[in-house]
Structure 1
Amino acid sequence: MPKYNKLVRDKIPEIIELTGKKYVTRALSEEEYIKELTNKSFEELEEYRSAVTKEEALEELADLMEVIHAFAKYHNTTLDEVEKLRRKKAVKRGAFKEKIFLVEVED
């Protein structure tokens, strides 16, 4: 039986069951959950980086958004609150629209 040892979406066990396969899961503690959610964010970001087509990239961005939703919920906030902070920082520090690449700063 292949071992995965990773956080999966809520319906994955049900989907596996429909294939007739057996599986083993367990509930994570809060400490384990945030650690595994962080690991999942890196996994999804790497999958985005590896995407070749626009469709693949959008699928991976959707997965990243699901992780962002979970992070917000974990921190007892909403995406609206996160978005307000994003806008505030964009006003104060800018966004990434100008594609500026900082090479160096004199000491």
Structure 2
Amino acid sequence: MPVYNKLVRDLIPNVIALDGKTCVTYRLDDPQYITEVNKKMHEELAEYEGAMTSDDAVEELADLLELIHSAAKFHGVTVEELEAVRAEKAVRRGGFEERIFLVEVEDEYV
């Protein structure tokens, strides 16, 4: 039997059961949960980075977004509140649309 030891989506045990298989699961406590959410974000980011097509990239971005929603909820904010923080930061600091790559900053005190 393969061993996974990782956070999975809520309906995965049902999917496994519908396939005629059994699985062993348990519910994580808060520290375990946020640790596993963070690990899963790294896993999904690596899959996004390795995506060969835009369709695959979008699938991985959707997985990352689901994890961001979960992490936001864990930290006590709604997705709407998180979006408000993002938007306010974009107003103050900009987004990444311009594709600006900073090489260096000259120190005035040389």
> Structure 2-normalised TM-score?
0.92
Match of 2:66 in 1: 66
Structure 2 counterpart of 1:2: 2
Q: In structure 1, how many angstroms separate the alpha carbons of the residues matched to 2:65 and 2:45?
A: 10
Are 1:38 and 2:13 matched, yes or no?
no
Structure whose CA Rg is larger: 2
Structure 2: gaps (5+ residues): none
Which residue identity does 1:96 align to in structure 2? F
Measured after TM superposition, the shift of residue 106 of structure 1 is 2.6
What percentage of aligned pairs have identical amino acids?
57
AA partner of residue 55 (structure 1): D
Other-structure match for 2:105 = 105
Unaligned runs of 5+ in 1: none
Q: What is the TM-score with the length of structure 1 in the denominator?
A: 0.95
Q: Structure 1: how far apart are the matches of 2:8 and 2:42?
A: 14
C-alpha separation in 2, matches of 1:86 and 1:22: 41
Alignment partners' CA distance in 2, 1:83 and 1:28: 27
2-structure distance, mates of 1:95, 1:105:
20
Moved over 2 A (4+): none
Q: How many residue pairs were aligned?
A: 107
CA RMSD, 1 decimal: 0.9
